[in-house]
Amino acid sequence: MRFLGGCREVGRMGMLIDTGSEKFLWEYGISVQSGEKPIQPKINLDGVFVSHAHLDHSGLLPQLYRLGYDGPIYCEPATLDLLSILLRDSLKLQKREGGPLDYLMTDIKKLERNVRFLKAGEREDFTTSSVEFHHAGHIPGSVMPLLENGGKRILFTGDVKFMDTQLMGGAEKKLKGIDVLVSESTYSYTNHPNRKKLEDSLKKIVQETVYGGGICVIPSFAVGRTQELLIILHELGVPIYMDGMGIRATEAILRHPKSIRNHKILQKAFSRAHKVERGMDRDRIIESPCVILTTAGMLNGGPVVHYISRLYERPDCSLVLTGFQVPGTAGRTLIDTGKFVHEDLEVKPRMRMEFLDFSAHTDHDHLIEFYKKVKPKKILLIHGEKPEDFAKELRKQGFEAEAPKNGETVQVS
């Protein structure tokens, strides 16, 4: 196993598995904020597997076809619909920035033609290997790939969430006989707050803001977070507006009823929500108290910039961040300094500002619980900023655990 990216960092995931007779690529993403890329693999691959649609796991997949790969990419059906939206948006941003393009539209379309669907619980057999997908609970379409070859079983968690949320059922835990577990460790250093208390806090903030005559702006990730928040808030009886890519992502998710827990509730909530279809409507909707679910979740562009620029001086309004803010993003700068900085705009908002940790990743205690249940012979920790510390902790508990570096090769014997 050669680690191409995503080690001791969050972003640009990539992992090459060479069985001796077959070569598989698991993930090929990009660091969304910095643009850093994984080590480029050779293209003589027998298959590519992607655990879910987020760009840090999938954002460079079209480049494989630009470089000459013409084989299949395996993913869950909902992943393709979401991936098509995210890749096109990413290409649009690349063109706007004016630098060299990672891929072209023809490459995206070639990827789409070469996708082969593999649902959770289904297996694909190769010459000497098989790969089976298991439910990961992170976002719609997210899976944990399990490779079996020569009696060895390698499980990759992808991004994983073990507890149920309003949108997703928790990840599968009943997995046995795992030789190597390649595990995300995004929140290996902490535990998340109680989900029900978070939901109640969000509802309280929204009600206090709207009934106080203000606008509650909730920047949210288009895939996963927007839909969960919509389910939580739809019965409060307050006007809810949706703006940005979250509209198209919700439409895509609704085409895959089995990918989420509460399809009927999301469908009902989405039908009730008002969709902002034109930029000129944005100033009109903030004339009356309401909730606005909008992109981008880390404040780096998108409609949210317009809303902050219009409302930052109003203490009766609120801005609620609901997800991790990567260092270097406008959202992280706002949390650290109290200032919103985007291009020519630099302001210190008087809006009420709150952070609620609605993470779609698992946390420290749930990872430990999973490891104890699965009992893998070896754990390789990736997709985290503090995996070395976590590996030391796991070794003290009797696990064989390592935190590989980018470029490192690990032999499974």
Tell me the per-residue pLDDT of 220-267, one tens digit each, with 9 for 90 and over. 999 999 999 999 999 999 999 999 999 999 999 999 999 999 999 999
> What CATH number should be reported for the domain holding residue 252?
3.40.50.10890
Let me know if 382 is exposed, middle or buried by CB neighbors in 10 A (0-12, 13-18, 19+): buried
Same domain, 294 and 315: yes
State whether 389 and 310 are in the same domain: no
Same domain, 216 and 334: yes
Residue 59 counted as domain residue:
yes
Same-domain status, 377 and 261: no
Q: 107 and 216: one domain?
A: no
173: which residues sit within 8 A by CB, 6+ positions away? Answer: 162, 370, 373, 374
**Residues 100 and 47 both lie in one domain:** yes
- Domain-located, residue 409: no
Compute the average pLDDT of residues 65-72. Answer: 96
Q: Is residue 313 part of a domain?
A: yes
Q: Is there a single domain that holds both residue 186 and residue 200?
A: no
What domain range includes position 34? 2-190+360-402
What number is the average pLDDT over the span 317-338? 92
Q: Quick one: 45 and 105 in the same domain?
A: yes
Task: For 137-180, give the DSSP string.
Answer: -SSTT-EEEEEEETTEEEEE--S---S--SS-PPPP------SE
Count of structural domains within the chain: 2
Q: What is the pLDDT of residues 266-300, one digit of tens each?
A: 999 999 999 999 989 999 999 999 999 999 999 99
Shared domain check, 149 and 174: yes
The answer on 332 and 266 residing in a single domain is yes
Task: Mark whether 226 and 98 lie in a shared domain.
Answer: no
The pTM of the full predicted model, rounded to 2 decimals, is: 0.95
Q: Is 402 left (phi over 0), alpha (psi -120 to 50) or beta?
A: beta
% of the chain surpassing 70 pLDDT: 100
**Cross-sheet strand order for the sheet of 14-18:** 2-5, 14-18, 23-28, 47-49, 73-75, 115-117
Q: What is the pLDDT of residues 134-169, one digit of tens each?
A: 999 999 999 999 999 999 999 999 999 999 999 999
pLDDT for res 274: 97
269's enclosing H/E stretch is: helix 263-272
Q: Quote the CA–CA distance of 408 and 385 in Å, as a whole number.
A: 17
In a domain, 227, yes or no: yes
pLDDT > 90? residue 409: yes
Same domain, 320 and 381: no
CATH number of 45's domain: 3.60.15.10
Is the pLDDT at 33 greater than 90, yes or no? no
Examine residue 413 and state whether it is found in any structural domain, yes or no: no
In a domain, 407, yes or no: no
